Amino acid sequence: MSTVGKTALSENTLFGMGNPLLDISAVVDKDFLDKFGLKLNDQILADNNHKALFEEIVKRNKVEYHAGGSTQNSVKIAQWMIQEPHKVATFFGCIGTDNFGEILKKKAEEAHVDAHYYEQNEEPTGTCAACITGDNRSLVANLAAANCYKKEKHLDLDSNWELVKKAKVYYIAGFFLTVSPESILKVAKHASDNNKIFCMNLSAPFISQFFKEPLMKVMPYVDILFGNETEAATFAKELGFETDDIAEIAKKTQNLPKENTKRQRLVVFTQGKDDTVATVGEKVTMFPVLDIDQNDIVDTNGAGDAFVGGFLSALVQEQALEECIRAGHYSANVIIRRVGCTFPEKPDFQ
């Protein structure tokens, strides 16, 4: 395996852990959103009021099923961008012993991700209803099995922890804070103690609002923090930053307390079609995204995950920040032209 000008990669260099979900994706109208009290571009956890939503969405005429879950999407995209060797990306999460679980296993294998699921039979495999309206998407996650991940039953097992130790870059979406903050802390501390790179994502406004305590417990170990403009604004509000200027928010976030002082925290905020904002040393830099015709956008579900996946693929190859962002912009641009977080056979990225 020769890789020109890039660090040669070995298996399990990138580690991801999160909520493996099967996306149930359908085009809906405003009435459907209103009926279930959904916002145009939001991510929420399902409660009892959403039971009927899941029953109704599967009856839509053009419903599609895709492997999803934010972290799983990102590590898949990273592996797709890398192509070879296979299994550079590892993924941990919890599924049910059912048909949806089998689909997720098969899809992970097809994507050449080294997935090690904790399988239990008390809860069914988690699903996420992706309600698509034009170029907006509203996501409702029914975590089910994904919520049953247990540190002592899976992460702590020697064979699994060995895989964690093999990695150099770690990525966990903020969504997993609702499931197993103790698992996140164990991985984050390992990364920090060994001067490896631990990345996290703000993931959704509700994480900063309702899971601020576990989020802030992990923050000192976060080397790279991702988020979009809405999540950044909510985070700033929850932390009393008293600014809605995104560059200022990035700077203040960068300066939050940090355990491993050998690495300065890097903060990267995407803003849809507007420039991506990143802290570069002491300053904040704007990186324009790739132009795309509005008519070419099929759905934005997975765009943020894809950005992170592209970014991580360059990061594990020890590329410069500009390159990581360029790779992220490329993969996000590919994903928004397709339904769900799906991709063509090979990337066309030079």
Domains of the chain, first to last: 14-20+69-124+143-336 (3.40.1190.20)
As a whole number, the mean pLDDT across the chain is 93
User: What is this structure's pTM?
Assistant: 0.93
What six digits make up the tokens of 346? 């090979």
Task: State pLDDT tens for residues 203-241.
Answer: 999 999 999 999 999 999 999 999 999 999 999 999 999
Residue 345 has a pLDDT of: 83
Residue whose token pair is 């961008």:
81
Is residue 74 classed as helix, strand or coil in its secondary structure?
A: helix
What percent of the chain lies above the pLDDT cut of 70? 97
Least confident of 203-212, 260-269, 278-287, 336-345: 336-345
Contact 101, 145 (CB under 8 A): yes
CA angle 86/76/331 to nearest 5° reads 110
Residue 7 has a pLDDT of: 64
The neighbouring-strand residues paired with 96 are: 120
Catalytic residue check, 305 = yes
Give the whole-angstrom CA distance, residue 143 versus residue 51. 13
Residue 114 has a pLDDT of: 97
Taken as a whole, the chain contains a residue count of 350
Contact 179, 92 (CB under 8 A): no
What six digits make up the tokens of 131? 């309600």
The radius of gyration computed from the CA coordinates of the chain, to the nearest angstrom, equals: 19
Residue 340 has a pLDDT of: 67
Residues 6+ away with beta carbon under 8 Å from 104: 20, 22, 67, 72, 95, 115, 117, 125
- Out of 34, 275, 305, 348, pick the active-site residue: 305
Amino acid at 283: K
Give the whole-angstrom CA distance, residue 137 versus residue 117. 28
